[in-house]
Amino acid sequence: MKTRRQSRTARLLLIAVSGAALTGSILIGCASLGVGDIFEIAQKSAPAVQKSFEDITPEQEHYIGRAVGATILTQYDPYAEAGANEYLNLLGRTLALASDRPETFGGYHFLILDSQEINAFAAPGGLIFVSRGLLGCADSEETVAAILAHEIAHVVKQHGLQAIKKSRVTSALTSVAIASAQTAGSDELAKLTTVFEDSISDITATLVNSGYSRAFEKEADLMAVAILQRVGYDPNALVRMLEVMETRLTPGGPDFAKTHPEPEVRIAEIRKVLAAAPAAPPPAVRQARYQAALGGL
Ligand SMILES: [Zn+2]
């Protein structure tokens, strides 16, 4: 499914990447093109070359996210307990519906990783992975919701796509434009995962090793608070999660300790926006369904 804008972008990119040779043929071989036409083409081509993550379409984002997800699953095994994963998906999709980006090209999907690391990853497009170790820090539906809301916020704000090195976005999108112009519709997934390989490495390295900036993490925490409030969960659950994580994370560990600011730093920022009054205790039915689904993790 290709929009008119994408087709136009593809044509412009083809013009742009052909470079001097094409410019030469326009100048020498095509008498019908005047100086004004050439100037117009050059003007149109220039912004097309300088692409940013914002030019990545939802469909491209989906395929990038799938490739990132596949890479994560080469490092972690999924936790193969259907009931727990179904619960996580029901809870996560409910929260996503209350976010500023309720729908993505392929939808939101949540998967538990069979690892005792305290970790979570949000791949572009809405593939969200949460470790058993992190879920083990939770003690209620609210606290699990707080974890998921933070990861959903990373998807909403497209923090993963922004981890792609700026210099790469242009070449990746140029490759896709050429691929789609020449072989429209065939082996799309394979082609996209190939041409985006370096971009996928950028994202995965950020998710697993270096982490996002403090500004992005603060943005995700504040958006998580908003999502929790919209759904009717106590946003203080995020603070409670972080307080538990604070006692369990080892500085320098290969998990959230490496990729996220210290919990106390995050708590201080969250407290600035939270009302002091404690929320009413959650309904018993909520705690019962949490216990049934994730209580045994
Ligand atoms: Zn985060």
Distance 87 CA to ligand 1 centre (A): 21
Using the predicted structure, report yes or no on whether residue 210 has a pLDDT greater than 80.
yes
Bridging pattern class, strands 127-131 and 120-123: antiparallel
Using the predicted structure, report yes or no on whether residue 143 has a pLDDT greater than 50.
yes
Distance 217 CA to ligand 1 centre (A): 5
Is residue 274 within 8 Å of 236, Cβ to Cβ? yes
Distance 220 CA to ligand 1 centre (A): 6
Using the predicted structure, report yes or no on whether residue 148 has a pLDDT greater than 70.
yes
Q: Mean pLDDT lowest for which of 30-34, 43-47, 279-283, 293-297?
A: 30-34
Note the pLDDT of residue 209: 85
Residue 217 CB-half CA count within 13 A: 25
**Beta-bridge mates of residue 109:** 127
Q: At what angle do helices 214-231 and 236-248 cross, to 10 degrees?
A: 130
Note the pLDDT of residue 82: 96
Mean pLDDT of 159-167: 87
In the DSSP assignment, the letter for residue 162 is: G
Distance 150 CA to ligand 1 centre (A): 6
Distance 151 CA to ligand 1 centre (A): 6
Report pLDDT digits (tens) over 12-64: 223 222 332 222 232 223 334 444 444 354 344 444 456 788 888 998 899 88
Three-class SS of 115-162: CCCCCEEEECCCEEEEEHHHHCCCCCHHHHHHHHHHHHHHHHCCCCHH
Note the pLDDT of residue 107: 97
Is residue 167 within 8 Å of 81, Cβ to Cβ? no
Mean pLDDT of 96-104: 97
Which segments within the chain are labelled E, that is strand?
Answer: 109-113, 120-123, 127-131
Residue with tokens 């990132």: 68
Note the pLDDT of residue 178: 56
Mean pLDDT of 111-138: 96
Using the predicted structure, report yes or no on whether residue 87 has a pLDDT greater than 90.
yes
Distance 14 CA to ligand 1 centre (A): 37
Using the predicted structure, report yes or no on whether residue 8 has a pLDDT greater than 60.
no
Distance 51 CA to ligand 1 centre (A): 26
Note the pLDDT of residue 259: 86
Mean pLDDT of 159-174: 80
Note the pLDDT of residue 208: 87
| b/e code 278-289 from CB counts within 10 Å (16+ = b) | eeeebeeeebee
Residue ranges of the domains in the chain?
A: 4-50, 58-160+209-294
What is the residue-averaged pLDDT of the chain?
A: 80
Using the predicted structure, report yes or no on whether residue 153 has a pLDDT greater than 80.
yes
